[in-house]
Amino acid sequence: GGIITQTPKFLIGQEGQKLTLKCQQNFNHDTMYWYRQDSGKGLRLIYYSITENDLQKGDLSEGYDASREKKSSFSLTVTSAQKNEMAVFLCASSIPGGSYEQYFGPGTRLTVL
């Protein structure tokens, strides 16, 4: 078995601040994903990466940057936090090919004051 860890668990930022969320997996999966979960809106894909150093935009990539420097890690940066923003950011990984289940991390809860 494997595990996905996300840091930090809770992130509080100020409006306009640049914030970075980190994700690590030891499944040795090639594909990794970042999602944003808002209440009542399901999961929306921000970025995904099919291999080390690859980045693909999802439907919600504006306002975010991502980095995949190692196979085991995938970082997400909120480039300018929006006031009153609250969401949970979920990282996931999977075997490549699009037809395998994803394994999700515990999430980072973001609050912007």
Partner 1 sequence: GEKVEQHESTLSVREGDSAVINCTYTDTASSYFPWYKQEAGKSLHFVIDIRSNVDRKQSQRLTVLLDKKAKRFSLHITATQPEDSAIYFCAASSTSGGNYKPTFGKGTSLVVHP
Total residues at interface with partner 1 (CB under 8 A): 28
By the rule CB under 8 A, 109 interacts with partner 1: no
Q: How many CB atoms lie within 10 A of CB 28?
A: 10
How many residues are listed for the chain in this entry?
113
By the rule CB under 8 A, 76 interacts with partner 1: no
By the rule CB under 8 A, 11 interacts with partner 1: no
| Own/partner long-range contacts of 49-58 (Cβ < 8 Å, ≥24 apart) | 49/74, 50/96, 51/96, 58/33, 58/34
By the rule CB under 8 A, 1 interacts with partner 1: no
By the rule CB under 8 A, 55 interacts with partner 1: no
How far apart are the C-alpha atoms of 90 and 46, rounded to whole Å? 10
Interface residue with partner 1, options 10, 42, 62, 84 (CB under 8 A): 42
Summarize as ranges the residues that interact with partner 1 (CB under 8 A).
Answer: 31, 33, 35, 40-45, 48, 50, 56, 58-59, 90, 92, 96-107
